[in-house]
Amino acid sequence: MTLSQIRSLVKRATGSDVANMPDFSINQLINLAQKEVVRQTLCLNKNAAVTTVAAQEQYSLPSDFHKSTQMKVGSVFLEYKLETYIDRLYTTTPDTGSPYYYYIDREADKYGLYPIPSGVETGKFAYRAMPTAMTADADVPDISEMYHDLIVVGATYRVFEQLNKTDLYINYFSMFKVMLADMANDLGIRQADDTPRMMTSQDILDA
């Protein structure tokens, strides 16, 4: 669905209650709904190109990196156990490349790698991302289309919350939470066999 289509569904669900709310305000609530879905389920996986520098340990995180991500990949370097191993950088391909392990320095907006490169290498940095805000009517959510209805429900409960329609807010908020749990469970099943280890449904619900 496009932003315009999602907004139309939100308007239909809220009826005359939303008549005086401008489209840009509804768009903001739609973007908040998608952001909440992504924050709770860590469902956006992206790759970024990486070029290492000799003897340099830390590199800037992608601008859309999900800073609350906790992948817990790998079992080495226990001093970083409470921080985050996110994924691996392969210098050639996942099948034949030598992996680096990463930790996240949230305060510096950087990630560190080990072993520290001895020279220039290129590779792929896999990470969990936050969605891009939708602004144009033709924009589409970053999450899979199978979960777009969740954005509609999430935006609808936010409209009722702003309008102080308590009963309707509670109904849609409860529906949103149930649908979110279903999505998390679905993602957990889909990712159960992924390597390196991805999130389980329990990890997602605890995020």
Segments making up each domain of the chain, as ranges:
3-42+131-206, 45-128
Biggest CA–CA distance in the chain, Å, is 64
> Where do runs of H (alpha helix) occur along the chain?
3-14, 23-41, 148-162, 166-191, 201-206
pTM over 0.85, yes/no: no
| Predicted confidence (pLDDT) per residue in 169-195, tens digit | 999 999 999 999 999 888 877 654 443
| Predicted confidence (pLDDT) per residue in 149-158, tens digit | 999 999 999 9
| Predicted confidence (pLDDT) per residue in 26-59, tens digit | 999 999 999 999 988 888 888 777 788 888 988 8
Q: Which 3 state secondary structure label does DSSP give 155?
A: helix
Looking at this protein, which amino acid is placed at residue 71? M
Looking at this protein, which amino acid is placed at residue 118? S
Please state the rounded mean pLDDT for residues 3-11.
97
Which has more confidence, 124 or 135? 135
